[in-house]
Amino acid sequence: MARTILGMIVGALVASLALLGCWYASAKLYPLPTSDDFATPESLSAYAAGTPSTAIACILGGWALAGLLGGWTSAKIAQPHRGAAALVIGAALTITVIVYATLMPNPEWVTVVGVLLPMPFAVAAGLLAIPRGES
């Protein structure tokens, strides 16, 4: 049980780092405005509407990469419960996407794709973490 909890904690940390790295890449490609009134809902909506496709691709890639790396790490450490550990990471990332969608206005298709990405990647990572010959 301790390995499973440790796996989920380390997997969540790895997923967070992967997500932050992709967000950093997105911010480098498309920097935030420096105006004083940027924190208003109208300016956030205008910023999100003008976000280029490369920045959106970094964000969506971040959700997938976080699911893959976090799910694999958690499943690799949590040997007795590999699948459950990977599923927890995928579920946590899905909840994170939903919270992000409520806080940051984005096109609806970004939210839909973002919700659909983490879980399959985390499950696939959990399957990849199973050593060959073990079921």
pLDDT at 80: 84
Distance CA 82, CA 12 (A): 14
Q: Using one digit for the tens of pLDDT, what is the confidence trace for 82-128?
A: 889 999 999 999 999 999 888 877 888 888 999 999 999 999 999 99
Q: What is the pTM of this model?
A: 0.85
Quick: pLDDT tens for 3-36. Answer: 999 999 999 999 999 999 998 888 888 877 777 6
How many angstroms separate the Cα of 135 from the Cα of each of 11, 128, 132?
21, 11, 8
The full set of domain ranges for the chain reads 2-29+50-128
The three-state secondary structure class of 26 is helix
Rounded to whole angstroms, the Cα distance separating 121 from 128 reads: 10
